[in-house]
Amino acid sequence: MIKDNHIAVAGGVREAIDAARAFAGHLIKIEVEVDTLKQLEEVLLAGPDVVMLDNMNLDELRQGVEMVNGRMPIEASGNVNLDTIKDIAET
């Protein structure tokens, strides 16, 4: 999983993904964690295998799902509990 600190060290999200692929080839899936829709825009251009939408509210999750538009699996993280799981799953 590529997180903010990996992106910062690599010099950008595309660079972080390229470095991960160069190291592991296609043996692993590359997942990138984002916590804003702006970050998601950049990540979608870089083409990871999976994206994690972290600590987003329901409106942001819905927008994120629309932005991804089925291009890759999405994981939702943060603020997930028995009270929120149904609404999150419905995004």
CB 73 within 8 A of CB 63: no
Give residue-wise pLDDT tens across range 43-84: 999 999 999 999 999 999 999 999 999 999 999 999 899 999
- Residues contacting residue 54 through CB under 8 Å, at least 6 positions apart: 33, 34, 35, 77, 78
The percentage of the chain sitting over the pLDDT mark of 70, rounded to a whole number, equals 100
- Residues contacting residue 62 through CB under 8 Å, at least 6 positions apart: 91
- Phi then psi for residue 33, to 5 deg, are -90, 130
Rg (CA), the chain: 13
Q: What is the pTM for the complete model shown?
A: 0.89
> Which domains are present in the chain?
4-89 (3.20.20.70)
